[in-house]
């Protein structure tokens, strides 16, 4: 176990709570220490998610509500892909890193659209608490083309341009997807009912 991780987790046991999102930030972390920590987390704390931005490390333990929303979003998008015959590759919370840019991220949900690529076309983050690092800066360094944030019961979508990310109303990869409609079903109390009714709604709109 990485000594840095042991020290921080022991000092902040709330990170292991499953009730609400918990976050802790560590500064002055070398790339080598970050990679070593990722290796340790994979074996001992698979639920923790880590974002790294030029020496700053943000460790998040998602709460129960966070994980339910994440799974709802992933399930609904899979239903959309199936209904629209869109080829996709689900990458989940895979760790993506670019050492030259000193960036690393573990999105809540991620997909490649059309073909399987090294990095996702779409990375999705469920936001319940304000993080200490700018995740758009992280994803820009990773050259992720599109980032979605689920926050305040709606999606915020950003496209990567030469000058940085620009907020847009629709996905460039899924231009026919009604994000307002999708958001309605993300909040359903019963995930099965959400997927069934979302499929029905998609059929009615085509």
Q: Please write the tens of the pLDDT for every residue from 155-201.
A: 999 999 999 999 999 999 999 999 999 999 999 989 999 999 999 99
Mean pLDDT along residues 77-97: 96
Query: Taking the model in full, what pTM does it have?
Result: 0.87
C-alpha 45: how far from its chain's center? 17
Mean pLDDT along residues 128-151: 91
- pLDDT tier for residue 3 given thresholds of 50, 70 and 90: low
> Tell me, which fold does domain 64-205 have in CATH?
tt1808, chain A (3.90.1570)
More confident: 7 or 124: 124
Mean pLDDT along residues 22-43: 87
Q: In whole angstroms, how far apart are CA 145 and each of 28, 59, 140, 150, 164?
A: 28, 24, 8, 17, 10
Per-chain mean pLDDT for the chain:
88
Q: What pLDDT is recorded for position 15?
A: 45
């Amino acid at each position: 176990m990485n000594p840095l991780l042991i020290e921080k987790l022991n000092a902040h046991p709330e990170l292991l709570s499953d009730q609400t999102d918990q976050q802790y930030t560590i500064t002055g972390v070398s790339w080598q220490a970050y990679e070593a920590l990722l290796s340790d987390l994979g074996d001992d704390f698979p639920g923790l998610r880590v974002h790294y931005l030029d020496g700053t490390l943000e460790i998040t333990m998602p709460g129960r509500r966070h994980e339910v929303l994440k799974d709802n979003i992933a399930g609904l998008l899979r239903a959309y892909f199936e209904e629209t015959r869109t080829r996709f590759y689900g990458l989940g919370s895979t760790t993506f890193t670019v050492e030259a840019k000193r960036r690393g991220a573990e999105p809540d949900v991620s997909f490649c659209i059309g073909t399987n690529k090294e990095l996702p076309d779409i990375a999705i983050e469920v936001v319940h608490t304000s993080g200490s690092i700018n995740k758009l800066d992280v994803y820009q360094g990773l050259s992720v083309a599109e980032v979605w944030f689920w926050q305040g019961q709606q999606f915020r979508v950003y496209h990567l341009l030469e000058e940085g990310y620009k907020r847009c109303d629709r996905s460039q990869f899924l231009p026919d997807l009604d994000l307002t409609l999708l958001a309605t079903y993300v909040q359903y109390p019963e995930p099965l009912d959400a997927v069934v009714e979302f499929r029905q709604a998609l059929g009615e709109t085509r």
